[in-house]
């Protein structure tokens, strides 16, 4: 399982939001490129970038910063935020980004997702961000009536390379990931699922590692590595040395109660 550090971009700076609320943002670093280099040096095998400005207005805004990050590191980069048409995805991938993450269009334009999966095979990831099991769109500013599990199944059928699942109520709260929702979604999607939101400790990461045989192949870590509650270097080492076969079956079961 990969431990994937998140870099959220707002106004060209590295920030974190609380439960997706743009009015509750905290700037952690004015230099996202330096942050990217740091996470690579600490053992990250990929980076997760979110163009928060882009997600809000509906088109990429921080392409120059994203390009600078891609050029500064050797590990692959995945990016989401504001990718709502073919040209935006093509422009993003032309910067050297490995994976484009689609969110809103997965709900509103599934035919476009199918088209992009065909044009850019293996490079389209679908981000499913949910409140109470229902998919949120437009930078989490709106909530649809679409169930996350139903959308995951549909996107897998259309050719998505993976699903990134975020429980918005857990994001930025450091309350631990929603293991039950992840388990259900991975079982239905039948493609790799990357967990996002709520990771606050190595224990949380080991709980996710226990879901690896069920299809949870990665964990995005944000606020906890910026506050120092989790050392990225130690997390990468712990997950790399751990094996899901060695984890007790009931490990993390309290989080599922």
Residue by residue, pLDDT tens for the chain (257 residues) are 999 999 999 999 988 776 666 666 778 888 999 999 999 999 999 999 999 999 888 899 999 999 999 999 999 999 999 999 999 999 999 999 999 999 889 989 999 999 999 999 999 999 998 888 889 876 566 777 899 999 999 999 999 999 999 888 665 555 788 898 999 999 999 899 999 988 889 999 999 999 999 999 999 999 899 999 999 999 999 898 765 445 444 444 433 33
Asked if residues 126 and 113 have their Cβ atoms less than 8 Å apart, the reply is: yes
Q: What's the Cα-to-Cα distance from 233 to each of 77, 94, 169, 195, rounded to whole Å?
A: 18, 30, 27, 19
Active-site residue (options: 8, 51, 167, 171): 8
155: tokens are: 């996107």
Q: Is 8 a catalytic residue?
A: yes
Q: Is 229 helix (H, G, I), strand (E, B) or coil?
A: coil
Q: In DSSP terms, which residues pair with 129 in a beta bridge?
A: 166
The span from the CA of 251 to the CA of 82, in Å, is 37
Among candidate residues 51, 129, 167, 171, the one labeled active-site is 129
For the whole prediction, is pTM greater than 0.85?
yes
Show me where the domains of the chain are located: 2-256
Query: Tell me, which fold does domain 2-256 have in CATH?
Result: TIM Barrel (3.20.20)
């Amino acid at each position: 399982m990969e431990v994937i550090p998140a870099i959220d971009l707002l106004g060209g700076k590295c920030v974190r939001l609380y439960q997706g609320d743009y009015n509750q943002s905290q700037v952690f670093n004015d230099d996202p490129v330096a942050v990217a280099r740091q996470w690579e040096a600490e053992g990250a095998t990929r980076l997760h970038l979110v163009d928060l400005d882009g997600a809000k207005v509906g088109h990429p805004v921080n392409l120059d910063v994203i390009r600078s990050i891609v050029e500064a590191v050797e590990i692959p980069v995945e990016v989401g935020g504001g990718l709502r048409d073919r040209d935006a995805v093509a422009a993003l991938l032309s910067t050297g980004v490995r994976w484009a993450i689609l969110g809103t269009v997965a709900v509103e334009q599934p035919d476009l997702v199918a088209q992009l999966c065909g044009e850019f095979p293996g490079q389209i990831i679908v981000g499913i961000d949910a409140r109470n099991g229902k998919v949120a769109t437009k930078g989490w500013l709106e909530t649809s009536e679409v169930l996350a599990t139903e959308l995951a199944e549909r996107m897998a059928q259309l050719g998505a390379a993976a699903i990134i699942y975020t429980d918005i109520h857990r994001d930025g709260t450091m309350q631990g990931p929603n293991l039950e929702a992840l388990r259900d979604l991975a079982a239905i999607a039948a493609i790799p699922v990357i967990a996002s939101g709520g990771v606050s400790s190595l224990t949380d990461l080991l709980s996710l590692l226990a879901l690896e045989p069920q299809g949870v192949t990665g964990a995005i870590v944000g606020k906890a590595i910026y506050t120092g509650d989790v050392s990225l270097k130690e997390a990468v080492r712990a997950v790399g040395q751990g094996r899901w076969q060695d984890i007790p079956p009931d490990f993390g079961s309290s989080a599922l109660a």
